[in-house]
A = this chain, B = another copy of it.
């Protein structure tokens, strides 16, 4: 996903070892890939911007390798030191494997989303996990 590199959180992508990286290229039907993306809006007080981002995210369901898509906003759970509720919108997608995840990244529908909505956010963090 295209982002403004200067806006990437310092300290992220620190090159920490992925414990099972060598085993994570699951075969079709194997372990799932859970792709969770958190967005921080440039204009967090703009409900129009938030709604535009959410509408854009909904188009991603049209990518054939997307097994499930959930879109969310911060929940009103108890505020604890460990809870990061500073994000504004998040997207949770499940893929069958890392090959499908790559197909998604390069897919015209995903590229169109980034082109149309990329100006809305100032920061994004992506977590990709392989289920075990």
Contact = CB atoms under 8 A, between A and B. Distances in A.
Interface string A1-36: 101010011001111111111101100000011111
Contact of A3 (B8, B38, B82, B127): B82
A87 interface: yes
Interface residues of A, number: 62
Contacts of A86: 12-16
Nearest to A26: B75
Interface of A: 1, 3, 5, 8-9, 12-22, 24-25, 32-36, 38, 44, 47, 50, 54, 70-88, 90, 92, 98, 101-102, 105, 124-132
Given A18-B76, A72-B132, A83-B127, 11 more contacts: A3-B81, A8-B82, A12-B81, A15-B86, A17-B44, A19-B88, A20-B74, A21-B76, A71-B131, A76-B130, A77-B128
